[in-house]
């Protein structure tokens, strides 16, 4: 049982060097599974190493169950970490690797035997216990590294990209296993990945990091539907959100995002209460699933020539050009047009997002309540 709080954590690797971690603030509830996601080099491993005590922080505090552990040595923190490299001891057998942490903690031999048997069964590596790491596949080594962490029952688990060295199929299998394991053990966990699918599927909460700064912290749903800025919006979601430059204009008291294809024009209605859109360069954010093939009687329809289609199996990606930008629409395969055809596009404007073109910040929070008479087909924004 443990809560973990990071209070204004800063880290620099040396005076004169820029801060690698900048004012990190996160609070993880007992039993929660937090995903830390961000591009390579943004500081994820540094943060894990700081929590584990392998690196010192240069400011702020790391607090577990209300106690500041920032100055504690790693072995006293009761935190188990699985490294991206696995870091198995090559000369030891699988059993010895798994036992190692328990022996150091002077756990009685009978208990050690029980723990090894338990995790070996859990991870289905019972038949590998006498082998050495060099005799194992990457996937098996990964399980041993997990076993070494799981043999202990620490307050907190830290996983640093544990699946990134596995092939795609095994990665998907292990992802499900990780989730099952957490549902069973309910140990507070921080899990690092650069894979946005893992970020969306595994965690209770997601922290998106860039350049040592937490860009957004929320549930996977928050991050997906209400991204704080262009970086978060572009990082999460596959295929990524479409970003269409628009110059909003006001027509009969109604803000509109003018959209032009090679076939015509449309003013996508925006409800931008409290946001000054006048003479502003903005980016309209629309996820591929928010563009559809227009059905009978659909409003906000714009024709566009289909440039290319990409069938993925469950859906087909259809590419058109709007405002000079290539735009991806995700449609059901039986609705998919052919390349060269003219497509009637409709927009789920109620889910559209607006970002400031200069700062990249989301301009406004979407309102949850549809404006009167809009019937959900007007994009709604509230100033903030
Ligand atoms: P990530 O895990 O997100 O890929 P890292 O935490 O490994 O990122 O690295 C973040 C930044 O800190 C990088 O610019 C990296 O070069 C730098 N860095 C990491 N470890 C050290 C170190 N021991 N000394 C100096 N700089 C380091
Ligand atoms: Mg790393």
21-77, pLDDT tens digit by residue?
A: 999 999 999 999 999 999 999 999 999 999 999 999 999 999 999 999 999 999 899
Ligand 1: nearest atom to the Cα of 48: 6
Ligand closest in space to the Cα of 164: 2
Residue nearest to atom 21 of ligand 1 (CA): 13
Nearest ligand 1 atom to the CA of 38 is 3
Ligand 2 ion: nearby residues, β-carbon < 5 Å: 45
Evaluate: CB of 13 within 6 angstroms of ligand 1: yes
Mutate to test the pocket of ligand 1, among 11, 18, 46, 215 (most ligand atoms within 8 A of CB): 46
Q: How far apart are alpha carbons 223 and 280 in whole angstroms?
A: 25
Integer Cα distance of 143 and 290 in angstroms: 40
pLDDT of residue 378: 52
Quick one: pLDDT at residue 85? 83
| Domains of the chain and CATH, by start | 4-235 (3.40.50.300), 242-382 (2.40.50.140)
> How confident is the model at residue 376, as a pLDDT?
40
10-residue stretch averages of pLDDT, the chain, 384 residues long: 96 94 97 96 97 96 97 93 89 95 91 92 91 92 90 92 83 86 92 92 95 97 95 94 94 90 92 77 94 83 96 96 97 94 91 92 59 42 48
pLDDT of residue 349: 83
Q: Which residues neighbour 244 within 8 Å (Cβ) at sequence distance 6 or greater?
A: 257, 259, 283, 284, 285, 286, 322, 323, 325, 327
**CB of 183 closer than 6 angstroms to any ligand 1 atom:** no
DSSP 111-140: HHHHHHHHHHHHTT-GGGTTS-GGGS-HHH
């Amino acid at each position: 049982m443990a809560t973990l709080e990071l209070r204004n954590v800063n880290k620099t690797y040396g005076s004169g060097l820029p801060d690698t971690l900048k004012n990190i603030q996160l609070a993880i509830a007992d039993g929660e599974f937090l995903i830390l996601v961000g591009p390579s080099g943004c500081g994820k491993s540094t943060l894990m190493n700081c929590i584990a005590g392998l690196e010192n922080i240069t400011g702020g505090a790391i607090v577990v169950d209300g106690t500041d552990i920032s100055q504690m040595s790693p072995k006293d923190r009761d935190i188990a970490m699985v490294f991206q490299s696995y870091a198995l001891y090559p000369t030891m057998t699988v059993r010895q690797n798994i036992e190692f942490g328990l022996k150091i903690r002077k756990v009685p031999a009978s208990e050690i035997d029980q723990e090894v048997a338990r995790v070996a069964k859990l991870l289905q590596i019972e038949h590998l216990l006498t082998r050495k790491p060099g005799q194992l596949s990457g996937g098996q080594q990964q399980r041993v590294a997990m076993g070494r962490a799981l043999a202990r029952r620490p307050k907190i688990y830290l996983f640093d990209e544990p699946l990134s060295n596995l092939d795609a199929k095994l990665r998907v299998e292990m992802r499900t296993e990780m989730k099952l394991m957490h549902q069973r053990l309910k140990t507070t966990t921080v899990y690092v990945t650069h894979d946005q699918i893992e970020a969306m599927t595994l965690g209770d909460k997601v922290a998106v990091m860039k350049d040592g700064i937490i860009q957004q912290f929320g549930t996977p749903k928050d991050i997906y539907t209400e991204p704080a800025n262009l970086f978060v919006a572009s990082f999460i979601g596959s295929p990524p959100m479409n970003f269409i430059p628009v110059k909003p204009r006001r027509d009969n008291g109604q803000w509109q995002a003018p959209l032009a294809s090679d076939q015509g024009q449309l003013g996508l209605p925006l409800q931008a209460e409290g946001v000054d859109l006048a003479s502003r360069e903005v980016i309209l954010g629309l996820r591929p699933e928010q563009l559809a093939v227009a059905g009978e009687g659909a409003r906000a329809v714009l024709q566009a020539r289909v440039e290319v289609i990409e069938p993925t199996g469950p859906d087909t990606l259809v590419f058109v050009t709007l405002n000079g930008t290539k735009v991806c629409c995700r449609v059901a395969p039986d609705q998919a047009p052919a390349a060269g055809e003219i497509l009637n596009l409709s927009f789920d404007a109620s889910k559209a997002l607006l970002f400031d073109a200069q700062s990249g910040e989301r301009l406004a929070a979407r309102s949850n309540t549809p404006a009167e008479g809009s019937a959900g087909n007007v994009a709604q924004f509230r100033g903030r």
